[in-house]
Structures are given as C-alpha cells and as structure tokens.
Amino acid sequence: MHRGILLKRFVKFLYPDVCPVCSDVVADQPGICTMCREKLKYIHNPRCLKCGKQMSDGEKEYCYDCLTHHHSYTKGIAVWGYTDGIKQSIYRFKYQNCRCFADIYAQEIASRYAEHIKRWGAQAILPVPLHSKRLADRGFNQAKLVADALGKRLGIPSDDTVLIRDRSTVPQKELDDKQRFKNLENAFIITENVVRYKKVIILDDIYTTGATMDACAKALHEGGVHEVYSVVLCIGRGF
C-alpha cells in the first residue's frame, strides 16, 4: 500500500472523526452523526421570510419579532434552532478550541442553502468581527473560520477586512433585549474596503434578537452597501 495512504489511515486511527455534537466517533463521513441529526432542530419550512426563524403557522410570512421590529439587514437563513446539543457544540467550538467544527458547520449550511444563498448574488461573506482584545484572548474568530469554510464551498470570497469591532462590548448574552441594541450602537466601523461591495453576507454563529446583525448592516449601509444578508448557524427566540 502507498505510504501516504498508510500514514493517512494511521492519523485517522489516532484522531478519528468525531461528531461535533455528541463526540462519538463517526465511521463513514465526517460530520454530525445520524442520531444527533435526528435530535437537532433543523429549521424547515415554514420559516420567517425575514430572519429565517422556524414558524409553526404556514399562513404567516413573518415572525412576531420581525413584524414588530424593524431590522436593518435584508433577510437571512439559519440552520438550527438554538437548543441543547448544538448549543454545547458551539460552546466547545468557541471556548474549547474545537476549530475543526467550522468546516462541518459550513457543510451543514451549504448542503441546505447553497442554491438559496447563491441566488442572493452576494459578492463576499463577512464574518462578524471580534474586538481585538477578545480575539487575542480566544486566538481565533469563530465566525471567520465558518465564513472561510463556507466561502470555499460556495465559491464566494470571505473578507474580514471590511468590518471592524471598534468598542469592546459586554457579551450580548449577559444583557436583556433593550440593552443588547444599546450595547452595540456604533460598535462596528467599516474600512475603505467596503467600496468593493454592493451585496454582502454577514456570517455569525448565533442570532438572538438580531441586534448584532442590525448593527453590522447599519454600518455597511452607511458605507454604501445595498443588500446585507444574514447567515447564522443557530437562531434563538426573538422578543
């Protein structure tokens, strides 16, 4: 047998592919195992035409949040509801350095939404930036890893040179809904590279109230971007 193949097999033996949700070894394809796939809340139709949240009633086009609150971004999609399983997986991805989850997440987005996203005609995928201090603490921006992996799969460049996080903000999860919007006011600034784009996708891991997405979209609109689409892994409750 060819040496390269043997080495590959040996590495796989030492470091087998594991499911990013339950950590069990997955034998065939790298990714989320069949059992976890069945348990996770994949978003399906009907979904809110604005934020992409799961809807139970096919008669309505928009969720309560999007009907009662103006969002600055154009529209968006999400892969999962923010429930147990994926919640812990994303936590490990962000805080326990499980960087290899990024490509699995990107694959989940692409396998469901590749055509949908391509129809938007966006010129770039922009990861939601971390403030430089938080980036230094964590060592990587989780949204950038997913944006890069998704960009490769869809043939859309990922660009982290446009949006910058100007202020170090309190983590959103520690705030109530009103404070979330206030906390992010003017948190993002744009660089001159924004002139390259008229349509972009913003990529984030979790969408809760949409405050982060709106703050990014607002900054980008001021820089002359017309359409800002949202792609997130998980979407939680609105308000």
The reply on whether position 50 binds Zn ion by CB under 5 A is yes
**Quick one: which of 48, 78, 202, 219 contacts Zn ion (CB under 5 A)?**
48
The reply on whether position 213 binds Zn ion by CB under 5 A is no
CB 195 within 8 A of CB 224: yes
Span of 18-26, 108-116, 118-126, 170-178 interacting with Zn ion by CB under 5 A: 18-26
CB 183 within 8 A of CB 212: no
**For Zn ion, which is the closer residue by CB, 21 or 213?**
21
- Adjacency order of strands within the sheet including 124-127: 75-81, 227-235, 199-207, 124-127
Span of 45-53, 79-87, 166-174, 187-195 interacting with Zn ion by CB under 5 A: 45-53
Structure tokens at 179: 């404070």
Structure tokens at 157: 């460049």
The reply on whether position 47 binds Zn ion by CB under 5 A is no
CB of 34 to Zn ion, least distance (A): 8
- DSSP class of residue 64? H
The continuous run of DSSP H or E covering 80 comes out as: strand 75-81
The reply on whether position 114 binds Zn ion by CB under 5 A is no
Rounded Cα–Cα distance for residues 124 and 117 (Å) = 11
CB 219 within 8 A of CB 188: yes
CB of 142 to Zn ion, least distance (A): 20
Span of 27-35, 95-103, 140-148, 200-208 interacting with Zn ion by CB under 5 A: 27-35
For Zn ion, the binding residues (CB under 5 A) are 19, 21-22, 33, 36, 48, 50-51, 53, 63, 66
